[in-house]
Amino acid sequence: MAINSIGVSVQSNTQYFACANVPGQSTQPPVLEAATNTSITFSWNAPLSNGGSPITGYKAYINALDDGDWKLIYDGTG
């Protein structure tokens, strides 16, 4: 509500906010499960801490090790 010398306003709608921190890192490096010429399958452990808010997705990057250039290979949820 807002208040001035004339009076008090009607209440505004309520808003709720989640205060969170960034999630922690995985507790172990990813594990290669399978690989073909066109795909890879890997798994990892979820972080011990979600930072106070549900984890809604993951991103995976790959590096050829000889050039130091990280390339995004997965950008999705689940």
Q: pLDDT-derived band of residue 64, with 50, 70 and 90 as boundaries?
A: confident
Residue 40: count of CB within 10 angstroms of its CB = 14
The pLDDT value recorded for residue 33 is: 94
Instruction: Express each pLDDT in 6-50 by its tens digit.
Output: 999 999 998 888 788 999 988 888 899 999 998 889 898 889 999
69 token code pair? 């250039």
pLDDT at 47: 92
Verdict on whether the full-model pTM lies above 0.85? no
Q: Which residues pair with 19 in a beta bridge?
A: none
Neighbour count for residue 73 (Cβ, 10 Å):
10
45: which DSSP letter?
P
Per-residue pLDDT band for 78 (boundaries 50, 70, 90) equals low
CA gap 30, 16 in Å, rounded: 36
